[in-house]
């Protein structure tokens, strides 16, 4: 059954445009509170954790969610600005029934959204999301006054999460002697990531750590790496680390400012685990993962499986296969034996552990990986589209695939978070890949017009 509001990563859109409006978010808080109360029915009342990133509309939606939840009889704990994975962690640590994050992740400040976690710190199941959407169709009511929920603010949530992050590396692990440039995207990691790295001994030079409610992801962070690349070279850093606005993605650079995407970071983590005897049989990627990653892992004796795009699908396939490492090119990386969801800080620490073992030689860590040239272009559309309703697209894709032969791939998919269709072409020749992708984009735009 198709969901009306939930996409691959919660509900997201432009602030002030339905459904990202105060009245809808109030109703969403109430509807989710009703579902959580019914599902868990815990004596003493249901409890939900709320965190947010740094965008200005977070204050408005925090209040709206809070009002809706307490009207449904749910007790609320507010964390304030915190990375998305920190909310997942605190949901488990606080023994709450659910966690909610107010964030549009890597989007600009004028967008916002709502993400949910279950009691185990994982994304909600499709069944729970369907149940919440069903409640949204009902009139909003308020529980009896004696059952209205209470609200408290969790003190030192940031400190607790910092300690957790440090606990994921071995006793005695030190970053002393390493000069690290960190870009926090003026987002939710601004008061977390630099402190984690400093407390582990690194010399940290930070950018993107002055959020004002409007500058989140603006020319900084993992979706715009040019600033960090330049910063790394200017500051003569050994390595650069960039997070996105809500801290569930990470990309990195070497000392030259050259970018390592999520596929390269997954490779480094997987190969380090293989070298230290802590590897599973395989790794999970997505339809967007570079063909070079698949080839390199298989040459190393590891299996590779592709999930649909979205960290919830990566996590589900990891669980099915019994594997503990998975990720996306965008930098969503899950190390499920460490934490329950994609976590930029945790993933960066996993890479830094590999770097320490390689005595700081980042080039050696990725020597076995040859990335295939890949071009992706977004085609704006009017709303959600079902590509299966456009048979002409199959013909256009087949024509490009025929010209690539066995040395490449083509992928068309609607974005789960934006009104766009993503067109990706991959192959051995950069010039050919770019040319074919642009040709296909023109055809897709014409067909969907």
Residue 112: strand, helix, or coil: strand
- Point out the catalytic residue in the list 32, 57, 103, 105: 105
Residue with tokens 């296969």: 321
Backbone torsions φ then ψ of 42, nearest 5 degrees = -85, 140
- Two tokens at 180? 């690290």
Strand-pair category, 303-307 with 282-286: parallel
Compute the distance between CA of residue 139 and CA of residue 135 in angstroms, rounded to an integer. 8
Compute the distance between CA of residue 430 and CA of residue 449 in angstroms, rounded to an integer. 28
R_g of the chain computed on alpha carbons: 22
List, in sequence order, the alpha helices (H) in 9-118: 22-40, 58-71, 84-93
Tell the burial category of 183 from Cβ atoms under 10 Å away from its Cβ (0-12, 13-18, 19+).
Answer: buried
Contact yes or no for 121/88 (Cβ under 8 A): yes
Phi-psi region of 337 (alpha: psi -120 to 50; beta: other; left: phi over 0): alpha
- Counting other chains too, the contacts that 121-130 makes at CB distance below 8 Å and 24 or more residues apart are 121/88, 121/89, 121/91, 121/92, 121/339, 121/340, 121/341, 122/88, 122/312, 122/315, 122/340, 122/341, 123/311, 123/312, 123/315, 123/341, 124/98, 126/3, 128/35, 128/39, 129/3, 129/6, 130/1, 130/3
**Residue 19: is the preceding peptide bond cis (ω within 30°)?**
yes
Compute the distance between CA of residue 318 and CA of residue 285 in angstroms, rounded to an integer. 9
Judge whether 442 counts as a catalytic residue: no
Compute the distance between CA of residue 256 and CA of residue 45 in angstroms, rounded to an integer. 54
Contact yes or no for 84/312 (Cβ under 8 A): no
Contact yes or no for 348/338 (Cβ under 8 A): no
Q: Which residues make Cβ contacts (< 8 Å) with residue 389, sequence separation at least 6?
A: none
Compute the 3-state secondary structure of the chain and give helix, strand, coil in percent, each to the nearest 5: 40, 20, 40
Q: Which residues pair with 422 in a beta bridge?
A: 378, 413
Residue with tokens 């559309």: 381
Quick one: which H or E segment has residue 414? strand 409-414
Which residues are catalytically annotated?
Answer: 105
């Amino acid at each position: 059954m198709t969901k009306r509001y939930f996409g691959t990563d919660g509900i997201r859109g432009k602030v002030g445009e339905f459904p990202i409006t105060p009245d809808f978010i109030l109703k969403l808080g109430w509807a989710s509170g009703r579902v959580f109360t019914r599902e868990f029915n815990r004596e003493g009342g249901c409890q939900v954790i709320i965190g947010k990133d740094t965008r200005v509309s977070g204050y408005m939606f925090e209040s709206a969610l809070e009002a809706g939840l307490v009207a449904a009889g749910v007790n609320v704990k507010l964390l304030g600005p915190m990375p998305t994975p920190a909310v997942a962690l605190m949901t488990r640590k606080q023994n709450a029934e659910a966690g909610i994050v107010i964030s549009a992740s890597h989007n600009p400040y004028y967008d916002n959204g709502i993400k949910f976690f279950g009691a185990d710190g994982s994304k909600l199941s499709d069944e729970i999301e369907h149940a919440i959407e069903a409640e949204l169709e009902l009139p909003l009511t308020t529980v009896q006054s004696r059952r209205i929920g209470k609200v408290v603010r969790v003190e030192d949530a940031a400190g607790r999460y910092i300690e957790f992050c440090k606990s994921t590396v071995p006793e005695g692990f030190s970053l002393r002697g390493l000069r690290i440039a960190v870009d926090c995207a003026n987002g939710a990691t601004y008061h977390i990531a630099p402190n984690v790295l400093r407390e582990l001994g690194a010399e940290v030079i930070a950018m993107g750590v002055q959020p004002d409610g409007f500058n989140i992801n603006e020319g900084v962070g993992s979706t715009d790496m040019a600033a960090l690349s330049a910063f790394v070279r200017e500051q003569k850093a050994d390595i650069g680390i960039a997070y996105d606005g809500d801290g569930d993605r990470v990309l990195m650079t070497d000392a030259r400012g050259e970018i390592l995407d999520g596929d390269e970071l997954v490779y480094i983590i997987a190969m380090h685990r293989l070298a230290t005897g802590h590897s599973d049989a395989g790794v999970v990627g997505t339809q967007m993962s570079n063909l070079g990653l698949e080839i390199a892992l298989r040459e190393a004796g590891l299996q590779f499986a592709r999930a649909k795009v979205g960290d919830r699908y990566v996590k589900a396939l990891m669980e099915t296969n019994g594997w503990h490492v998975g990720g996306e090119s965008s930098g969503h990386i899950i190390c499920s034996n460490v934490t329950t969801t994609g976590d930029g800080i945790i993933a960066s620490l996993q890479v830094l552990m590999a770097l320490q073992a390689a005595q700081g030689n980042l080039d050696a860590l990725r020597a076995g990986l040859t990335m295939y040239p890949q071009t992706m272009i977004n085609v704006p559309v009017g709303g959600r589209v079902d590509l299966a309703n456009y048979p002409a697209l199959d013909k256009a894709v087949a024509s490009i695939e025929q010209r690539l032969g066995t040395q490449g791939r083509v992928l068309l998919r609607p974005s789960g978070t934006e009104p766009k269709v993503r067109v990706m072409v991959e192959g051995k020749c950069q010039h050919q890949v770019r040319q074919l992708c642009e040709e296909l984009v023109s055809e897709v735009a014409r067909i969907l017009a």
